[in-house]
Copies of this chain bind each other. A is one copy, B any other.
Amino acid sequence: MAKTFETLKGTYDYLPSEQSLRESIKDRLKDVFKRYGFLPAETPILSMLDLLTSKYSSDADILNEIYKLSDQGKRELGLRYDLTICLTKLISSNRGISLPFKRYEIGKVFRDGPVKLGRNREFTQCDVDVVGVSSILQEAEFMNLTHEAYSELGLEVEIRYNNRKILYGIIKSIFGEMSDELLRRVVMLVDKLDKMSKEELEREFIKLGLSSKSYDELYNSFSMSYEDLKAKYENSTSEILKEGFLEMDELRALTTSTPAWKSMLYAPYLARGIDIYTGTVWEIFLKERNIGEHDFNLSLGGGGRYDNIITSFIDDGNSYPAVGMSFGLDVIYEVLKAKEGDEKKSDIDLFIIPLETKKDSFIFTQGLRTRGIKADIEKVDRRVKKSLNYANKEHIPFVVIIGEDEVKNRMINIKDMTTGEETPFSLDDYEGICEFINKRL
């Protein structure tokens, strides 16, 4: 009796019907990354545990979710939980590396945490980062990379953007100076603005000991246009606010005449959860979030400037400003799958069915493959009808049956499986057949 082996919760087998789309998403993203001067890097999944738990690495929640293990040499190891820590380590171990350093990495990461939609135990991250650039040009570049990447995937997106400095400045201007810890809590609340009602959020602010009146002022600020908000704080003496508006002005000036502009939406409440960001942040949503019966009110990716994390990790007196973003592969996959619907495409162009002509049919198959056609030959000993059923089921667009007469006369008929139409060719006319198939696909 067969023993059944369990699949670990939060891990998946991706069959070709799913994985083909996942691979195509990765390929299209990589093409865009390369056009923007980003190159691939690959870092290890297995890591010394002390790196993963180092104080610069991440917040406490993630630390509890690290998969820990040891090896035969009794070393304490862990599986990486994100790619940023690996990038930091890479820069730190390669001090001679030429900056700016632009790399992308697409790889598996692991978290031993609760499993929910879009959050698995083993999942793929797709990160694009630059280390060594302070200029806002970098953010402007990322706005366009983001816009172009999603366009390439056929998705119209909204790039919500903000600057942490402006957000901090506004909060402090309204509520007065506060501890870093309180500021952090307020920012985390603000980040939930589009997920909670005004009243729910207000209760949370009051819990933190903040006044309803100030909360109202903050809430109203977030519905102002960028120009109005800037005008409101024109006379503010807050250094951080001035710096934030300067950066934002530059980002907007750089991007107004570029393709990204039409996707960009100023979102003064946006913080992007994690602590590491120091300036510009952005997050991507679908413009039209309903696809068929699905409602995708989900972040499809995002990023920001994080000037401190690598700098303090390396701590060699130099500064390592960085900007980076993540593309949410799993979410993008779900969205594209929903868009595609059940429209199944075959990855085979032509299916060759030999009838007692194995060798000639095989040579013919090879000849087409060498010329770039995705050809496959029936290798299972079954009736022609079953072979044709298989081709139909797999949605293979063209089929040819090669029997002894076809070999003797060197003539075959290529059958279009959609129309039923048959087109005659010489068995040796590889070029003609390729041209015919390529034109019809």
Contacts and interface: CB of A to CB of B under 8 A. Distances in A.
Interface stretch (A90-98, A272-280, A415-423): A90-98
B108 A379 contact: no
Given A5-B89, A11-B46, A254-B359, A37 B376 contact: yes
Contacts of A140: 362
Interface in A79-119: 79, 86, 89-90, 92-94, 97-100, 103, 108, 110, 112
A407 interface: no
Nearest to A144: B366
A265 B90 CA distance: 44
Copies in the complex: 2
Interface string A126-162: 0000001111011011001000100000000000000
B41 A370 contact: no
A279 to B, nearest CB: 15
B16 A380 contact: no
A381 B347 contact: no
A11 B107 CA distance: 15
A441 interface: no
Contact of A90 (B3, B13, B72): B13
A208 to B, nearest CB: 31
A334 interface: no
A14 B1 contact: no
Q: A3, A40, A45: which has the most chain B beta carbons within 10 Å?
A: A40
Residue picked from A19, A42, A86, A148, most chain B C-beta under 10 Å: A42
B45 A20 contact: no
B22 A42 contact: yes
B2 A94 contact: no
A406 interface: no
A68 interface: yes
B3 A100 contact: no
A314 B77 contact: no
Contact of A133 (B13, B110, B379): B379
Contacts of A225: none
Given A41-B15, A144-B369, A379 B135 contact: yes
Interface residues of A, number: 100
A315 to B, nearest CB: 4
A436 interface: no
A191 interface: no
Given A37-B375, A41-B15, A377-B137, A92 B4 contact: yes
B137 A35 contact: no
A67 B12 CA distance: 20
A363 B34 CA distance: 18
Contact of A2 (B47, B68, B314): B314
A253 B360 CA distance: 11
Interface stretch (A48-56, A166-174, A229-237, A292-300): A48-56
A132 to B, nearest CB: 7
B100 A379 contact: yes
A254 B358 contact: yes
A67 B67 contact: no
B366 A90 contact: no
A92 B2 CA distance: 9
A373 interface: yes
Interface of A: 1-8, 11-16, 19-20, 22-23, 30, 34-37, 39-48, 50-51, 54, 67-69, 71-72, 75, 77, 79, 86, 89-90, 92-94, 97-100, 103, 108, 110, 112, 121-122, 132-135, 137-138, 140-141, 144, 148, 253-254, 257-259, 314-316, 347-348, 358-359, 362-363, 365-366, 369-370, 372-377, 379-381, 390, 393-394
Which 7 A-B residue pairings sit nearest by Cβ, starting from the closest?
A16-B39, A11-B44, A37-B376, A69-B69, A14-B42, A5-B51, A19-B40
Given A3-B315, A19-B40, A141-B365, 6 more contacts: A13-B42, A13-B44, A14-B42, A37-B375, A141-B379, A144-B366
